[in-house]
Amino acid sequence: MSVRIGDRLVITRRGSMLGRLRPEDLIETGLFKDDSGIALASSEIVVHRAVYARTSAQAILHTHPPHGIALSLELDEIVPVDSEGSYLLHRVPVVAAEKTIGSTEMAEVLSEALSRYKLCMLRGHGLFATGHLLEEAYQWSSAFEASARVIYLMRTAGISPIEYRQESQRYSTW
């Protein structure tokens, strides 16, 4: 998790857990320049910096949604079938990188995708969501996992969705 503040970046500490954050788990460091805070920053700071360099995002949230991860292991794109997900998210690309923990390859693949989408799944790893506020990135993340869960449950039960939206073509592009 990170927030851009001018030429600075506040990012979670390496190894911290989003559900149990304390003030000391938030590390301030340079947006594009290393300083003393870099040693404690998340191992995925290279990804956050690449996304900020390539987008207008002010906040990034990285989560590990179980249903989304499961779907990412089979699909190249996750298209919500529920009304909230299809309205808010439209479609979520799934990208892949050989090295998935804080690598420059991962940074390149994700920053390219996030220059076109508000959120993106890294195959088998997790979701990256951007926003103007951290709350917005959280909204995208929450809507995504709810939609992924619906898709997962339908696939598990062998249910195929029926088209119920009058303007379904409107949802086909971001």
pLDDT tens digits, 4-60:
999 999 999 998 888 899 999 999 999 998 888 888 899 899 999 999 999 999 999
Q: Is residue 80 part of a domain?
A: yes
Q: Is residue 165 part of a domain?
A: no
Instruction: Tally the domains of the chain.
Output: 1
Among 63-67, 141-145, 169-173, whose mean pLDDT is lowest?
169-173
Q: Is residue 111 part of a domain?
A: yes
Q: Is residue 70 part of a domain?
A: yes
Instruction: Enter the pTM of the model.
Output: 0.90
Q: Is residue 172 part of a domain?
A: no
Domain span including residue 61: 2-160
What residues have CB less than 8 Å from 92, skipping those under 6 apart?
68, 77, 78, 79, 80, 117, 119, 120, 121, 127, 144
